[in-house]
A and B are shown apart, each in its own frame.
Chain A
Amino acid sequence: MAHADTHDHHDHDHKPAGIGRWLFATNHKDIGTMYLLWALFMFFLGGAMALGIRLELFKPGMQWFDPGFYNSLVTNHALIMIFGAVMPAWVGLANWMIPLQVGAPDMALPRMNNYSFWILPFAFTLLLSSFFTAGGAPAGGWTLYPPLSLQAGDSFPLTIFAIHMMGISSIMGAINVIVTIMNMRAPGMTLLKLPLFCWTWLITAYLLIAVMPVLAGAVTMLLTDHYFGTSFFNPAGGGDPVMFQHIFWFFGHPEVYILILPAFGIVSEIIPAFSRKPLFGYDAMVYATASIAFLSFIVWAHHMFTVGMPLAGQTFFMMSTMLIAIPTGVKVFNWTATMWKGSLSFEPPMLFALAFLFLFTIGGFSGLMLAIAPADFQYQDTYFVVAHFHYVLVPGAVFGIMAGVYYWLPKWTGHMYNMTLAKWHFWVSTISVNVLFFPQHFLGLAGMPRRIPDYSTQFTDWNMVSSVGGFVFGFSQLLFVVLIWQCARGGAKATDKVWDGMMTGLEWTVASPAPYHSFTEAPDLTGVADSHH
């Protein structure tokens, strides 16, 4: 940074002692840590369910599970990965990094911050306890389409209330992000000087506030249909099961951008850092993110091309969906142009960012294919869709999270981590994730529907390949845990700047580990030029 603020004030890190530090936590770093550890735990739990799925699908015939239990695995894998792993991981990263990046001492609303985290363990206890109820855990898919979801047994109210609680948690997290970014930026940090991670999170937070209440409304209507005799979605009472899908996907499509936009932000910081060159087209990146967020509200019915919409509706949703390719393309081109004529090095965060760049783009291509409505009739609800959204969610969102963790972990712990182990984690993950998901494109095109526990024998070969990839990917994540554990316990001392790259954020101006209370005096950026204009 051009300004000479060295922050050498002596931090008196009065950390509360014992379990109270965590139960009553109001420190953004402590809460961020809890969110991230929670996300890691859920990642393994949801991953274990995914391994159950891949185990059953290793070969044709039913070897392990009852088909109903298989459906529960599919449903809970999705709910846990989306609401338990990816979203809390983003909130954890936001907690840790947004105050550090905007030069604030903490998040704006620390007590609400505590509340929004501590709701989560209760929400997931409710959800998971449904495995022990009569009728088993929810098995109608995470999309909860009625009338099927209404056939659930005692798990039904547990699922609905769990989703309500997750939604409350997300909304409070989002409010905190918005208030912090809007009100607590250091003097002179104009909006167009914000690091892109803050920008993408700001837009994500608005999406969350806009759509989580929509989901809450949809599931509440399910609840009253089930218990109070309403007929929102029951055709026998004059209701409309397709209306649920419209409401659900009005939430659901912005939701998928909630999962991916913060990854765009992280990649937009890591690629310039290790290309030693400012981000190409900073303003275009901000506007592209905002355009994607806007478009996410007008494309929802592309998830429903087969429900029998009028021709005009199908055409509209096909065209609006195709439009998303434009701002997304701008982003990919900008990242590529940032590397062009740069000076690249390949530390673990950069490796994950590059894998994101290639593999997310592959998910984007299959997304463009899925937008073509007549072709979508052949892709809809097949493994082609499964391959598509896992490409954007695993080497997309999850690799984005991992890139962020590898980027900032030394700043959090004060220690460098084991680079060799990190590179092993990267290469094994990147190769196995492709072995896992690429063949699923073939399975879908060849005609294998999704959400089936058993399949016709011509699909055997690619399923075996996919399962092998799945097990290698799943177990290779243990390397990540070992690495984090080691880095938390010790290692080479990290410098304030950590990396030999071009990092411009305020987080690199404080000590490593970041002091428990950072920026008690705001750094003044008035008149300081940013690197990207």
Chain B
Amino acid sequence: MLNRKMLSALGGLLAALPAFAYESSYNMTQGVTDISREVHGLHMTVFWVCVAIAVAVFGVMIYSIITFRKSKGAVADQTMLHSTKVEIIWTVIPVLILVFLAVPAAKTLVRMEDTRNADISIKITGYQWKWGYEYLGTGVSFYSTLASTSNEARQLHSGIDPNSVKDYLLEVDHPVVVPVDAKVRLLLTGNDVIHSWWVPDFAVKKDAIPGFINEAWFKAEKIGHYTGQCTELCGRDHGFMPIAVDVVSQEDYAKWLAAQQEAVKAAAAPAATTAANTAASASATL
């Protein structure tokens, strides 16, 4: 009887699932990569497993609180000390649930760690408090800092209403640009302290640690503008070094890259020819 009640309650909750899954003000985003959808799937699976366990366990607790009250004349059963059978059951069932959760999680983990066969590689360096991006093998590199509109509004007593600022604290001066449907490999390091590069829509969060080069990858399937933030406390302005990524078509990416390379050349041109090498190597060491 109790079981049937619990099942119908669970059914009701499951019916609400679609609404839950797509709204992002109180749940994890599904994101725009294969991996991010898998991660979202794992998240929802373990969430519903927890809900099911909660309904069962809290159900028994609430039933006990309502039924076995001294004020209702309940008399305690003093002989109920332990039961080996019951104790084995409630040890084995959790083990099975954990195996059910661990297997797909381990599979996803293996895929997330496979950074082979990347189409482009970007080296990301965390600074206090901005990000540096270097498109390996292209000569293109730049810093990406908080947009000036947000930066003015976020000063103490600025008098500027953050609601009037577009993408408050999430907009940058130079977003990262990557092609759609391409496997982008990220090489992350830190220049001063540890930072962490997170874009929820790609399900990528990896620490940028001085002295280390960490690897991560994503393959965005949808053209668009995606944002994230630094997620490792890195000092005073930790909250003010966002990440913005523009996913564009392959053609637009080629055009953007060419324009960036032109700009690098143009910057080097006014100087003497000997200086050109210095400029190129300077940008390469960024």
Contacts and interface: CB of A to CB of B under 8 A. Distances in A.
B269 interface: no
Given A241-B194, A336-B60, A375-B42, A381 B231 contact: yes
A458 B80 contact: no
Interface string A428-457: 000000000000011001110111111111
Given A375-B46, A447-B228, A337 B28 contact: no
Contact of B70 (A319, A340, A343): A343
Interface string A277-317: 11011111000000000000000000000111001001100
A111 B215 CA distance: 55
Interface stretch (B3-11, B159-167, B250-258): B159-167
B36 to A, nearest CB: 8
A454 B78 contact: no
Contacts of B235: 68, 71, 139-140, 148, 151
A131 to B, nearest CB: 16
A283 B25 contact: no
B81 A532 contact: yes
Given A71-B236, A449-B239, A369 B76 contact: no
Given A365-B53, A462-B26, A326 B94 contact: yes
A222 to B, nearest CB: 13
Interface string A59-73: 011110111100100
B69 interface: yes
B233 A71 contact: yes
Interface in B230-264: 230-240
A323 interface: yes
Contact of A311 (B27, B28, B105, B113): B113
A326 B252 CA distance: 52
A19 to B, nearest CB: 42
Given A280-B82, A365-B54, A67 B233 contact: no
B57 A332 contact: yes
Contacts of B219: none
A9 interface: no
B38 to A, nearest CB: 7
Contacts of A325: 94, 98
A372 B98 contact: no
A322 interface: yes
B87 A235 contact: no
A340 B29 CA distance: 40
Given A341-B80, A445-B28, A358 B58 contact: yes
B239 A452 contact: yes
Interface range for B = 35 or more
Interface string B105-135: 1101110110000000000000000000000
Interface residues of A, number: 93
B102 A340 contact: no
A342 interface: yes
Nearest to B215: A308
B27 A446 contact: yes
Which DSSP category, helix, strand, loop or mixed, fits chain A's interface? helix
Contacts of A373: 105, 109
Contact of A377 (B39, B69, B81): B39
Contacts of A341: 68, 74, 76-77, 80
Interface of B: 24-29, 35, 38-39, 42-43, 46-47, 50, 53-54, 57-58, 60-61, 64-65, 68-71, 74-78, 80-82, 86-87, 90-91, 94-95, 98, 101-102, 105-106, 108-110, 112-113, 153-158, 160-163, 167-170, 192-194, 196, 198, 200, 203-207, 209-212, 214-215, 228-240
30 contacts: A62-B154, A62-B156, A67-B238, A235-B210, A242-B209, A280-B82, A281-B87, A306-B232, A307-B209, A308-B209, A315-B109, A337-B80, A340-B60, A342-B64, A343-B75, A344-B65, A345-B71, A374-B38, A375-B42, A375-B46, A377-B206, A380-B196, A381-B231, A442-B25, A445-B27, A449-B198, A449-B231, A451-B239, A452-B229, A456-B169
Interface of A: 60-63, 65-68, 71, 139-141, 145, 147-148, 151, 235-236, 239-242, 275-278, 280-284, 306-308, 311, 314-315, 318-319, 322-323, 325-326, 329-330, 332-333, 336-337, 339-345, 354, 357-358, 361-362, 365, 368-369, 372-375, 377-378, 380-382, 441-442, 445-447, 449-458, 461-462, 502, 532-533
